[in-house]
Amino acid sequence: MSKVKWSSLGLSVIIVIALIVWMATGEVKEASTDAPAEPETAQHALTRVEVTTLNAQVYEPGLLLQGQLEPWSSVMLSARVAGTVESIAAELGDSVKTGDVLLTLSEDGRGAGVQRWQARVKKLEADLAAVQRLGSRNLASQSEALGVESDLAAARAELESAQLEVSHLRPRAPFDGVINRKEVETGSLVQVGSPLYELVRTDRLKAKGQVPQQSAAQVAPGQKVRVRPLDGDALDGVVTFVASAANPETRSFAVEISVENPDQKRIAGGSANLRVALPDVQATFISPAYLSLGDDGRPGVKYVDDQNQVVFRTVTLLSVSTEGAWVTGLPDETRLITRGGGFVKEGERVEPVDASEERG
Q: What are the tens digits of pLDDT across the range 241-284?
A: 999 999 998 899 999 999 999 888 889 999 999 999 888 888 88
Of 16-20, 303-307, 309-313, the poorest mean pLDDT is in: 16-20
pLDDT level of residue 168 (50, 70, 90 thresholds): very high
Taking the C-alpha atoms of residue 346 and residue 194, their distance in angstroms, rounded to an integer, is: 77
**Secondary structure of residue 162 in the 3-state scheme:** helix
Which pLDDT score is estimated for 23?
52
Taking the C-alpha atoms of residue 60 and residue 278, their distance in angstroms, rounded to an integer, is: 6
User: Mean pLDDT highest for which of 206-215, 282-291, 321-330?
Assistant: 206-215
Which residues have CB under 8 Å from 296's CB, separation 6+?
A: 314
**pLDDT for 125 beyond 70:** yes
Taking the C-alpha atoms of residue 21 and residue 109, their distance in angstroms, rounded to an integer, is: 155
CATH of region 49-59+281-359, choose from 1.10.150.120, 2.40.420.20, 3.30.70.580, 1.10.260.40: 2.40.420.20
The H or E element containing residue 179 is strand 177-182
**pLDDT for 204 beyond 80:** yes
Which pLDDT score is estimated for 126?
86
pLDDT level of residue 20 (50, 70, 90 thresholds): low
Which pLDDT score is estimated for 86?
94
Which pLDDT score is estimated for 48?
85
Domain 107-167: CATH architecture, name and number where available? Orthogonal Bundle (1.10)
Q: Residue 50 carries which side chain, given as an amino acid letter?
A: E
The H or E element containing residue 134 is helix 110-136
- Helices within 137-200 (DSSP H only): 142-167
Q: Find out whether 58 and 192 touch, Cβ atoms under 8 Å.
A: no
pLDDT level of residue 31 (50, 70, 90 thresholds): very low
Of 160-174, 234-248, 336-350, the poorest mean pLDDT is in: 336-350
Instruction: Provide the 10 A C-beta neighbour count for residue 261.
Output: 23
Q: For 29, what's the count of Cα atoms within 13 Å in the CB-facing half-sphere?
A: 6
202-222 mean pLDDT: 92
Taking the C-alpha atoms of residue 324 and residue 312, their distance in angstroms, rounded to an integer, is: 19
Of 128-137, 190-199, 238-247, 253-262, the poorest mean pLDDT is in: 128-137
Higher-pLDDT residue of 191 and 144 is 191
**pLDDT for 230 beyond 60:** yes
CA distances from 82 to 124, 170, 189, 256 (A): 30, 12, 8, 38
pLDDT level of residue 12 (50, 70, 90 thresholds): low
Q: Find out whether 185 and 85 touch, Cβ atoms under 8 Å.
A: yes
Q: What is the DSSP letter of 329?
A: S
* Strand order across the beta sheet in which 83-88 lies: 103-105, 83-88, 189-190
Domain range annotation of the chain: 49-59+281-359, 63-70+204-277, 107-167
**pLDDT tens-digit map of 38-80:** 444 445 678 888 888 889 888 888 888 999 999 999 999 999 9
Q: What CATH homologous superfamily does 63-70+204-277 map to?
A: Efflux pump adaptor protein, beta barrel domain (2.40.30.170)
Within 81-133, strands assigned E span 83-88, 95-96, 103-105
- Nearest residue to 185 via CA among 103, 254, 308, 68: 103
Of 15-29, 156-170, 207-221, 299-313, the poorest mean pLDDT is in: 15-29
Cβ-based burial of 342 (10 A; exposed 0-12, middle 13-18, buried ≥19) = exposed
Q: Residue 345 carries which side chain, given as an amino acid letter?
A: K
Higher-pLDDT residue of 11 and 142 is 142
DSSP string, 232-278: S--EEEEEEEE-SS--TTT-EEEEEEEEE-TT--S-TTSEEEEEEE-
Which residues have CB under 8 Å from 151's CB, separation 6+?
A: 124, 127
What is the greatest pairwise CA distance in the chain? 198
The H or E element containing residue 283 is strand 281-286
75-98 mean pLDDT: 94
Q: Residue 289 carries which side chain, given as an amino acid letter?
A: A
pTM given for the model: 0.62
Taking the C-alpha atoms of residue 343 and residue 15, their distance in angstroms, rounded to an integer, is: 69
Q: Find out whether 202 and 262 touch, Cβ atoms under 8 Å.
A: no
